[in-house]
Structure 1
Amino acid sequence: MTIFACVNTKGGVGKTTTAVHLAVMLARQQRSLLIDGDPQASAASWAAWRRERIDGAPSPTTVCLSGKAIITEGKPLAQGYVHVVVDAGGRDSVGLRSALLLAEYAIIPVGASQLDAAALTDVMTVVDLARDYNPNLDVRILLTRVDPRTKDAADMLVFLKSQNLVVLNTMICERVAFRRAIGEGATVHEIGKDHLAISEVEAFFQEVVA
């Protein structure tokens, strides 16, 4: 069993988009659980839309847990699944910290801007605290919502490397296909119209499950 947590203390970085795409791709292979631990419950909304609109596609079982329940209830729940993805954060909270204690692998989606760089200090402080209790936590940064027309991503990479952070090779660009897919309870694969979005998600998946 592998437990992933998609976390950040900053909103608007594509955290839920990352979590649901990862959960669906894992569900294609084996029984998977998606835990929505974000108070906004965006992943749960996506799952509800998926049940209404997507028929027969592989889907993770989705549950909502908050605060300490992410670890106290999430841990026994996880035993019935091969893979687990937790979507948590949007701010520093008991839920985010619980997700980091439960997880083996933390993925931190980060935008390529100065605001994102400043906010990263907050989430890494929380990660460092979690590692006191979960020392084997593997943490990777995923650059998301990248505008390929600018050099912002390159500048952000320089900053991340200067902080000695492990950054995934894959970058997820800002694409309409992601917003459309989430609103339809789908993935970009299922929408099927943006091959660049599909290839980015597939590359991300291959990196994290390698």
Structure 2
Amino acid sequence: MTIFACVNTKGGVGKTTTAVHLAVMLARQGKTLLIDGDPQASAASWAAWRRDNPEYTPSPTTTCLAGKAIFSEGKQLAAGFEHVVVDAGGRDSVALRSALLLAQRAIIPVGASNLDAAAMTDLLTVVELARDYNPDLDVRVLLTRVDPRTKDAVEMLEFLNEQGLSVLTTKVCERVAFRRAIGEGATVHELGRDLVAIAEMDAFFKEVTA
């Protein structure tokens, strides 16, 4: 069993989009639990919309946990599943720190702006604290919502490398297909309209589960 946590202290970076796509792709391989640990409960909303569309399958079992329960209850619940994905963050919180304690692999979706870089500095402090208690935590950064017309991603990549972070080769660009898929409780694979978005998610999945 592998437990993934999609985390960031900054909102609007595609954290939930990453988490639900990962959860569905894992569900194709085995029984998967999706824990929504974000107060906004975006992943839970996506799961509810998904239940209204029985053609979208498979679905991860989805539950909401808050604060320390992400670690304590999450650990117990995880025992019944082959894969677990936690969506937590939006700010530095007990929930985010609990997700980092529970996880084996942390995925940090991050945009390519100066604001994202500033937020990363704060998040790295939290990650290092988590590693005191969870020393085997594997942290990977995923560049998301990238605008391919700018050089922002290149500059952000330089910053991340300077921090000594492991950055995934895959980059996920800003695409309407992702917003539409989340709003329907689907994945870009299931909508099937944007082949490049599908290819990006496939590349991400292959890389993060290797």
Q: Is the TM-score greater than 0.5?
A: yes
**Deviation per residue, 1:161-192 (Å, 9 max, x gap):** 11111000000000000000000000000010
Aligned to 1:141: 141
Work out whether residues 54 and 185 of structure 1, in 8 Å CA contact, stay in contact via their aligned partners in 2.
no
Structure 1: distance between partners of 2:159 and 2:35: 31
Structure 2: distance between partners of 1:206 and 1:147: 22
Aligned to 1:184: 184
Aligned to 2:84: 84
Q: Secondary structure at the match of 2:52?
A: helix
Work out whether residues 146 and 171 of structure 1, in 8 Å CA contact, stay in contact via their aligned partners in 2.
yes
Structure 1: distance between partners of 2:57 and 2:102: 28
Q: TM-score under structure 2 normalisation? A: 0.99
Q: Secondary structure at the match of 1:108?
A: strand
Structure 1: distance between partners of 2:184 and 2:56: 15
Structure 2: distance between partners of 1:171 and 1:85: 20
Where do 5+ consecutive residues of structure 2 fail to align?
none
Q: Write out aligned runs for 1:14-163 (5 A).
A: 14-55=14-55, 57-163=57-163
**Deviation per residue, 1:93-146 (Å, 9 max, x gap):** 000000000000000000001110011011111100000000000000000000
Structure 2: distance between partners of 1:171 and 1:138: 19
Where do 5+ consecutive residues of structure 1 fail to align?
none
Identical counterparts, % of pairs:
78
Structure 2: distance between partners of 1:69 and 1:86: 12
Q: TM-score under structure 1 normalisation? A: 0.99
Structure 2: distance between partners of 1:21 and 1:62: 13
**CA shift in 2, pair 1:89/1:51, >3 Å:** same
> How much does 1:54 deviate?
3.7
Work out whether residues 50 and 56 of structure 2, in 8 Å CA contact, stay in contact via their aligned partners in 1.
no
